[in-house]
Structure 1
């Protein structure tokens, strides 16, 4: 259409006005959204249109028209060449992204929709461009009579923190089945982080590395939940009627700063009734700022959607959080929503241990 419009305007314009050179716009625009073959086809049409203009006004053999035809042809060839390079780099980028996505999914396994009697949804927003994960982490596993969940935040953000996150995730998936209590589990994770701490020193972020973590244990039958905090904030408990409560917490120092034993960690318990939803989160959510410097009012916003399913709740929070920060987070952010159904529809077998998620 652009070629036709330029050709018609040039034909009916006064003799001293020449719009034919503008035909090169057509292949240039085509290269922005199409591949080399469509771009080359449009280039051929542009050259043909310039030749038609010259023939119509009777100056096809003139030096001016011939130079314009050659110029449009050369520019079209260059446009096709750049479209070819862009297409090749696009394929390379797609392959790199597919490999990166596969590697990151291996590290941070997606949580299933159901874990035992619980409905679960998870949200991860990485601060690094093109990254699916960063320094925040979470995992869940079935143990005898219940479910154990961990959410954590490695010091730093983005790709530089992935190594330490991988270490802690692997340690949790193994140790969660070997220790009967959460304080013992926290001490085992502390040993794992301390043992390999020197391997994760970063020149970009000098200082002692550490990880905040919240360990949660949710029994299948008892309507309570137990938790041990290693410098991590307490979860929110969303109940009917837009109620939000924050359980009392006695946090210990983050993992990697002390090499402490089980006696240093406190086991806190709080009610988790049928119909309630637990919200576990990292500080990238509550410390997200808008342009005016105001923190994201996480507790206030979560109270709006207490009646929503875990997946719908996190969809609301994701849109609201990104709108608050203007579309880009300054730190990695993770949220897990865990809902205890009012009427359990899963048959539990005592003594059975399922695979980890």
Structure 2
């Protein structure tokens, strides 16, 4: 089944300058002219223009800064002529000081422009790499409608310690959502390793438990390479076959998914096992089978990280996820995710932890229904086959 096209990636953010900064040269010029108009004629107010080139350098390029320098010199000479002091020694030194200020301002402007260009290039590369690690989720895939939300606790960073991925495989749609212990670049490295392992293994590993075990070994190897015995990642894996009325879920130490129907919200009763990277600490024979959860049309599975459930208001109270969603009164994935994007921020203010959310519901559109009917076979399907 073809998926909906992904939205275009936004351009890399430009370095921001406060709106009032570009107006500083104009304010200085007006102040100089007003001073010239109200003080006695024996005083030339052009002394104030000595700082104008440096002030202009903080907002404008080297060409405009050089032009501001020449304009300042010309205006100083005109004002001095008006006062009859154009050839006096202290005015000559003012002209020299303005010229030196212009040279330094032009050099400062050139350096600032160059640094901004390098910063923009670095941000573009960083954004490209981060979006390669954490890809946008498709709106429709394999008989499901999907909506996702990801927010890093650090506003300037696109990827933190949370992760999610949706893959349309020959075994059905497979979904991963998790949370790596720790923050910073170390957590991002583990996120990249886990996502890379999931994207590769999801297409070739028949069992969902076996897939979780492969991710467990990935985190364990990463912990050994870094010498971090406490490294782990909580995760929940989900599998949905097109045309099916249920999903399979494996929970490795993660927050309990929620099932939303028209009139109820209930936690998914699945076995809670050890997180990824710590599976070797428990007996292998105790690892259960995936939990089958009914998912008829109109029902939605909500996967989320503790950045949502453990968000706190100023009084320290946790975010009441289930009651808030119940009051919303909808199971539409996009509306659920849009609501949480605004409501969690409004409830908790600045985020103290990364958060990730995935909402999944059967696609009941006519196109999806026709595609699912063609694909309903006993054997696993291959994405893109008619």
Same fold (TM over 0.5): yes
Mark the CA change 1:129 to 1:341 in structure 2 (over 3 Å): closer, same or farther.
closer
Alignment RMSD, CA only?
Answer: 2.6
Moved more, 164-173 or 346-355: 346-355
CA-CA distance at 1:306 after TM superposition: 4.8
Residue 265 of structure 2, aligned match among 228, 233, 244:
244
Residue 6 (1) aligns with residue 6 (2): no
Match of 2:18 in 1: none
CA-CA distance at 1:270 after TM superposition: 2.3
CA-CA distance at 1:128 after TM superposition: 3.7
Mark the CA change 1:19 to 1:139 in structure 2 (over 3 Å): closer, same or farther.
same
Paired residues of 1:163 and 1:200 also in contact (CA < 8 A):
no
Q: How does 1:81-120 map to 2 (within 5 A)?
A: 81-120=107-146
After superposition, the C-alpha distances for 1:151-178 in whole angstroms (9 at most, x for unaligned) are: 1111102322122222222222233233
Q: What is the CA–CA distance in structure 2 between the aligned matches of 1:281 and 1:137, rounded to whole Å?
A: 10
Q: What is the CA–CA distance in structure 1 between the aligned matches of 2:320 and 2:58, rounded to whole Å?
A: 41
Paired residues of 2:44 and 2:83 also in contact (CA < 8 A):
no
| SS of structure 2 residue aligned to 1:345 | helix
| SS of structure 2 residue aligned to 1:228 | strand
Paired residues of 2:146 and 2:359 also in contact (CA < 8 A):
yes
Mark the CA change 1:3 to 1:178 in structure 2 (over 3 Å): closer, same or farther.
closer
Residue 313 (1) aligns with residue 349 (2): no
Q: What is the CA–CA distance in structure 2 between the aligned matches of 1:247 and 1:72, rounded to whole Å?
A: 73
Q: What is the CA–CA distance in structure 2 between the aligned matches of 1:125 and 1:73, rounded to whole Å?
A: 49
Q: What is the CA–CA distance in structure 1 between the aligned matches of 2:199 and 2:81, rounded to whole Å?
A: 77
**Gap runs ≥5 in structure 1:** none
Match of 2:382 in 1: 353
Q: What is the CA–CA distance in structure 2 between the aligned matches of 1:120 and 1:127, rounded to whole Å?
A: 23
Match of 1:272 in 2: 295
Q: How does 1:193-272 map to 2 (within 5 A)?
A: 193-201=219-227, 207-240=229-262, 243-259=264-280, 261=284, 263-272=286-295
Paired residues of 1:252 and 1:264 also in contact (CA < 8 A):
yes
Q: What is the CA–CA distance in structure 2 between the aligned matches of 1:24 and 1:295, rounded to whole Å?
A: 57
Mark the CA change 1:309 to 1:59 in structure 2 (over 3 Å): closer, same or farther.
farther
Aligned length: 349
Paired residues of 1:134 and 1:158 also in contact (CA < 8 A):
yes
After superposition, the C-alpha distances for 1:95-135 in whole angstroms (9 at most, x for unaligned) are: 11222222222222222221122122222212345321122
| SS of structure 2 residue aligned to 1:265 | coil
Paired residues of 1:238 and 1:279 also in contact (CA < 8 A):
yes
Q: TM-score, normalised by structure 1?
A: 0.87
Q: TM-score, normalised by structure 2?
A: 0.81
Q: How does 1:80-159 map to 2 (within 5 A)?
A: 80-128=106-154, 130-144=156-170, 146-159=172-185
Q: What is the CA–CA distance in structure 2 between the aligned matches of 1:24 and 1:289, rounded to whole Å?
A: 52
Moved more, 125-134 or 25-34: 25-34
Paired residues of 2:299 and 2:331 also in contact (CA < 8 A):
no
CA-CA distance at 1:320 after TM superposition: 2.7
**Structure 1 residue runs of 4 or more that deviate by more than 4 Å after TM superposition:** none
Q: What is the CA–CA distance in structure 1 between the aligned matches of 2:120 and 2:30, rounded to whole Å?
A: 37
